[in-house]
Amino acid sequence: MKRAASGKPTGRASATSSNSVKGVPVSSVLNAGLIGAGRIGRLHASNLAHHIPRARLVAVADVVEEAARQSAAEHGIPKAVADYRVLLDDADVQAVVICSATDTHAQIIEEAAQAGKHIFCEKPIDLTLERIDTALAAVDRRGVVFQIGLNRRFDANFRRVRQAVEQGEIGRPWQLHIVSRDPLPPPLAYVKVSGGLFLDMAIHDFDMARFLIGSEVEEVYAAAGVLVDEAIGALGDVDTAVTILKFANGAIGTIDNSRSAVYGYDQRVEILGSGGMISTDNNFPNSAVISDGRAVHRDLPLNFFMERYTQSYLAEMTAFVDAVLDGGTPPVTGVDGRLAVVLALAAQKSFRENRPVRVSEVDLSRD
């Protein structure tokens, strides 16, 4: 997805002060509106309201208006509404942070772009490539800044791995292994609409694979099953998956996904290269180790994404704010968001047909 070269106004602070998108005033602080005040929305609200000095949260929308109001009260947000279109019509809102249900993302992206708002959108953009492409085309047309919420790229551990690959600390990458396990399965109600393990959970790992190796995936093979909870299987989804990725540079990767890990959130990567290996561990609440009469033990790792990725959520939003105000390229683009979905769809197809699937089978643009 090339950014259009048409010289469209982008409303960034780095532009001259007369620049604007749809009348949004340029300033050194970004006025943001939050769309969707669920769990992840409240997390972004807290960061925007309290921890990012260059951002201000000026409005919040949630279809459950009471949720919007609570969020507004908690974080001192001046405006709380049910309809996100109110934010799109608000000249004070320079950027929107989309945290609503997945099936609304593409529609809101299109409207927000049309309204000249810069956009931060939670992953995935959509579950179909058609809708993704339409939404990204709208973004492109208006030239607004667009960042997708693949926050793990901002995690200190994974950034260090990326740095090692980039700087040649481990030579050319040969093998990648990603472990990505949730402490426990999501509610069945969520499983029904999430798009399934590959599209809702492994999508982060597909992006991580591309990010870490720095080469595109050409073929995937996925083995999966229902080992954790038969109710998940009854809904047509799997809860355990292992995916092999073949990269254009010859590297081969594996991803271990599980909906259940009794010891907590398990998020690790390891890369073997011609010059060495790099591997990361989970994050822990403290470093204390107890040796007693039975074992040498320590506390369990941080339990789930809210604890483990606290800093990466803050860092990604800071990067978005900086990209809008300073005019840099956002570090995770619409193309990144699209390709994560492409790989998830290919893995899903591979599992269903029990055969290796070329990515170009799913993404015709890659032939």
Site for its own copies in 281-300 (CB under 8 A): 281-283, 285-300
Q: How many chain residues are in contact with its own copies, going by CB under 8 A? A: 73
15 binds its own copies (CB under 8 A): no
Using the rule CB under 8 A, is 356 a contact of its own copies? yes
Q: Is residue 235 a contact point for its own copies (CB under 8 A)?
A: no
**Closest CB to its own copies among 10 and 318?**
318
Near its own copies by CB under 8 A: residue from 242, 327, 349, 361: 242
Nearest residue to 204 (alpha-carbon basis) of 237, 158, 272, 172: 158
| 161 in contact with its own copies (CB under 8 A) | yes
Nearer to its own copies, 22 or 177 (CB): 177
Print the SS3 string covering 6-45. Answer: CCCCCCCCCCCCCCCCCCCCCCCCEEEEEECCCHHHHHHH
Closer Cβ to its own copies, 103 or 166, answer by number: 166
Q: Which of residues 173-192 bind its own copies (CB under 8 A)?
A: 174-175, 177, 179, 181
Site string for its own copies, 49-68 (x = CB under 8 A): -xx-x---------------
**Quick check: 28 binds its own copies (CB under 8 A)?**
no
d(CA 63, CA 297): 46
Nearest CA among 147, 140, 75 for reference residue 114: 140
Q: Which residues, other chains included, contact 124 with Cβ-Cβ below 8 Å and sequence gap of 6+?
A: 102, 105, 195, 199, 200, 203, 337, 340, 341, 344
Question: Which region among 17-25, 37-45, 146-154, 222-230 touches its own copies (by CB under 8 A)?
Answer: 222-230
Q: Report the nearest approach of its own copies to the CB of residue 179 (Å).
A: 8
Q: Is the CB of residue 216 less than 8 Å from the CB of residue 245?
A: no
Written as one letter, the residue type at 140 is: D
Q: Which of 14, 27, 279, 329: binder of its own copies (CB under 8 A)?
A: 279
Q: How far is the CB of 47 from its own copies (least distance, A)?
A: 11
Cβ 240 to its own copies shortest distance, Å: 6
Q: Binding of its own copies at residue 27 (CB under 8 A)?
A: no
What is the distance between the alpha carbons of residues 152 and 134, in angstroms, rounded to a whole number? 26
Q: What residues between 202 and 221 interact with its own copies by CB under 8 A? A: 221
CB of 267 closer than 8 Å to CB of 235: no
* Beta-bridge mates of residue 138: none
Q: Name the segment binding its own copies (CB under 8 A); options: 3-11, 63-71, 156-164, 204-212.
A: 156-164
Among 197, 209, 278, 323, binds its own copies (CB under 8 A): 278
Binding to its own copies by CB under 8 A, coded x per residue (else -) over 245-264, reads -x---xxxxx-x-x-xxxxx
Q: Which of 272, 314, 321, 343 binds its own copies (CB under 8 A)?
A: 272
- φ, ψ of residue 324 to 5 degrees: the values are -70, -50
| CA neighbor of 226 nearest in space, from 260, 190, 199, 252 | 260
Stretch that binds its own copies, among 80-88, 96-104, 165-173, 326-334 (CB under 8 A): 165-173
231 binds its own copies (CB under 8 A): no
Calculate the dihedral angle through the C-alpha atoms of 52, 22, 37, 338, rounding to the nearest 10 degrees: -90
Helix 202-213 with 334-353: angle, nearest 10 deg: 120
H/E element holding 217? strand 217-225
Query: What's the token pair of residue 218?
Result: 């050409």
Select 119 or 164, whichever has its Cβ closest to its own copies.
164
**DSSP output for 129-173:** HHHHHHHHHHHHHHT--EEE--GGGG-HHHHHHHHHHHTTTT-SE
Instruction: State which residue, 235 or 244, has the beta carbon closest to its own copies.
Output: 244
Decide: is 343 part of the binding site for its own copies (CB under 8 A).
no
